[in-house]
Amino acid sequence: MESSHAQRKNEHLSLATKLYNQVHTNSFNSMQVIHKSLPEISLNQVNPVTNCGNLRLAFPFFIEAMTGGSQNALKINQELATVAKKHHLAMALGSASIIFHDPAAKKSFKIVRDVNPDGIIIANLSAKASLEQAKTVIDLLGANALELHINTTQELIMDDGDRDFHWLTNIESLVNHLNIPVIVKEVGFGMDSSTINQLQSIGVSIINVSGRGGTNFAAIEDRRNHTADFSFLDQWGQTTLESMLEAREARTKDTQIIASGGICSPLDVIKAGILGANAVGVAGYFLNILIRDGIDALDKELTSWQIALPRLLALLGCKSFNELPSTNFVLHGEEFEYSQQRNLI
């Protein structure tokens, strides 16, 4: 019988897929890219490789953190690692904090490195994780980077969640004492410019703004909470587009920005790049294809994305992903109003 921690992981997976169509919104629909009729480029001039800090990615999108810690999660991670290897995509895992309570959970994480021995693997822990815990998980996975997730909204909705969120000192210590890149990542509620400034001030150079629009942990934890109703927080936080606008305002030249949260097409990846993303993480969209239609369907979808992205770059006259911020765009509706009130454009 699986532990209570593993059962919680299974509940997260089940609710994430059940609620996906209910909570998923695409803020990038409010962004219109200005077409360039004379791009003056050949497709063979386009190189989709991008750099995010010390991570060199074959494509500007990667498989973002989803799960780990149960038998169901092991199968999903094994299949995700298989397609990540085939398509040369970086892959992040779900939080590995469970292994310190349930050692049997280790195999559901380690399977990713077993399947993909040479790929880019990103480990994931809470921002409160100790240096010893971080090193343990990094060694277990042979991780190329570590994501530290910040998830106050999720924790406060959980009956048994954390209630102390003094994280900055610990994040700074981990950044200073680990020899691989440390990414600080929201879990779907977005970031504002002041949060990004705080992280930059303690030496964080890779920030994943992870906005509202994809997997919604407020909705997930509210379904698991049997003592109070937090459904009024289902729309809490900044969308991914709003978070990217905030990041454009706050980032320094040494800061790398990852966009995630509700990404569901190659065009979304391009739009995130126009707003300054160095890389783009995709979780819920890929997870739902895998669970609903199987690994062959996800394999086909990834092939489609990798065909489309260079062509979209060529359409905009860009030889590389990092040339996208020179592309013109306009905003419509709520996202335009947000940008005006926040003085972001």
Tokens of 25: 């919104």
Q: How many CB atoms lie within 10 A of CB 128?
A: 17
User: Which of 51-60, 67-76, 125-134, 257-266 shows the lowest mean pLDDT across its residues?
Assistant: 67-76
pLDDT at 228: 87
Higher pLDDT, 302 or 27: 302
Residue 294 main-chain phi, psi, to 5 deg: 100, 170
pLDDT at 150: 95
Give CA–CA dist 230/232, Å, rounded: 5
Q: Which of 7-11, 17-21, 64-68, 123-127 reaches the highest mean pLDDT? A: 123-127
Whole-number mean pLDDT of the chain?
A: 92
Determine the average pLDDT of the residues in 124-153.
96
Reported confidence tier of residue 159, pLDDT bands at 50, 70, 90: confident
Segment 200-250, tens digit of pLDDT: 999 999 999 999 987 776 677 777 777 888 888 888 999 999 999 999 999
Segment 261-283, tens digit of pLDDT: 999 999 999 999 999 999 999 99
CB of 66 closer than 8 Å to CB of 124: no
Residues in the chain: 345
pLDDT at 7: 60
User: Which of 50-54, 153-157, 187-191, 262-266 shows the lowest mean pLDDT across its residues?
Assistant: 153-157
Reported confidence tier of residue 16, pLDDT bands at 50, 70, 90: low
Distances in Å between the Cα of 328 and the Cα atoms of 27, 206, 238 are 17, 25, 23
CB of 149 closer than 8 Å to CB of 127: yes
Give CA–CA dist 108/86, Å, rounded: 20
Over 70: is that where the pLDDT of 20 sits?
Answer: no
Distances in Å between the Cα of 319 and the Cα atoms of 67, 70, 90 are 35, 42, 21
User: Which of 21-35, 66-80, 228-242 shows the lowest mean pLDDT across its residues?
Assistant: 21-35
CB of 267 closer than 8 Å to CB of 327: no
Segment 86-132, tens digit of pLDDT: 999 999 999 999 999 999 999 999 999 999 999 999 999 999 999 99
In eight-state DSSP terms, residue 235 is T
Reported confidence tier of residue 290, pLDDT bands at 50, 70, 90: very high
